[in-house]
């Protein structure tokens, strides 16, 4: 019996020294169940559309009517005084000073068409201009237009006048400025401007 008391005392002492305390575990508290959120009905799935349905229309591109845009300016220029009838005129390529890509060739062609059969000027032909550019080492589609280059070309072609044109501002609605210059002196003898017509 003394032996069992010694064992019990030793067991109790071992438990005490190890710091283990036997504690009955309490079950975790049970929280009341939350009701489930109501189920939303699914949105109906749209039926596949047929080809060609609901296709957005492309944006409408504005094109410039160069013939209508240059006609009034050319008419005013032809009425200006100080021009010797029968003189040779070089129509320089329209310079693009807008904020975008401009169809300078169409604008230049419209000016040449407006001056065709004008009775006041003889125009330098496209062939003469191309040959002069080639001889002077200028590319045919030279876009670095300048008044001095236009006057130099006109002198080479024995033209008395050069028409220098510049499109500036917003590319969708540019302002067209024209200057008729005397080749010999570089003097501007007529100037006009107008808005491009759509």
Q: What is the pLDDT of residues 35-93, one digit of tens each?
A: 666 666 666 666 665 665 666 665 555 689 999 999 999 999 999 888 888 999 999 99
pTM score of the predicted model: 0.67
Distance of CA 194 to the CA centre of its chain: 23
Position 184 pLDDT exceeds 70: yes
To 10 degrees, what angle do helices 126-135 and 147-156 make? 100
Q: Which residues contact 139 (CB under 8 A, 6 or more apart)?
A: 133
Q: Give, in words, the CATH class of 66-195.
A: alpha beta
pLDDT number for residue 8: 60
Q: Which residues contact 86 (CB under 8 A, 6 or more apart)?
A: 120, 121, 122
pLDDT in tens, 82-133: 888 899 999 999 999 999 998 889 999 999 999 998 889 999 998 999 899 8
Instruction: Please state the length of the chain.
Output: 198
Which pair of structure tokens corresponds to residue 186?
Answer: 């570089």
């Amino acid at each position: 019996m003394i032996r069992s008391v010694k064992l019990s005392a030793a067991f109790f002492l071992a438990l005490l020294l190890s710091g283990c305390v036997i504690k009955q575990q309490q079950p975790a508290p049970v929280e009341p169940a939350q009701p489930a959120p109501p189920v939303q009905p699914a949105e109906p799935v749209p039926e596949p559309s047929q080809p060609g349905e609901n296709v957005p229309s492309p944006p409408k591109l504005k094109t410039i009517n160069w013939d209508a845009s240059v006609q009034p300016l050319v008419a005013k220029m032809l009425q200006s005084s100080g021009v010797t009838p029968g003189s040779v005129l070089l129509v320089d390529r329209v310079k693009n000073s807008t904020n975008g890509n401009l169809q300078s060739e169409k604008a230049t062609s419209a000016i040449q068409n407006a001056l065709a059969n004008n009775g006041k000027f003889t125009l330098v032909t496209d062939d003469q201009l191309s040959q002069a550019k080639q001889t002077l080492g200028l590319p045919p589609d030279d876009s670095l237009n300048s008044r001095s280059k236009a006057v130099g070309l006109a002198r080479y072609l024995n033209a008395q006048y050069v028409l220098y044109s510049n499109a500036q501002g917003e590319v969708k609605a540019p302002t067209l400025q024209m200057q008729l210059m005397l080749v010999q002196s570089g003097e501007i003898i007529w100037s006009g401007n107008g808005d491009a017509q759509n």
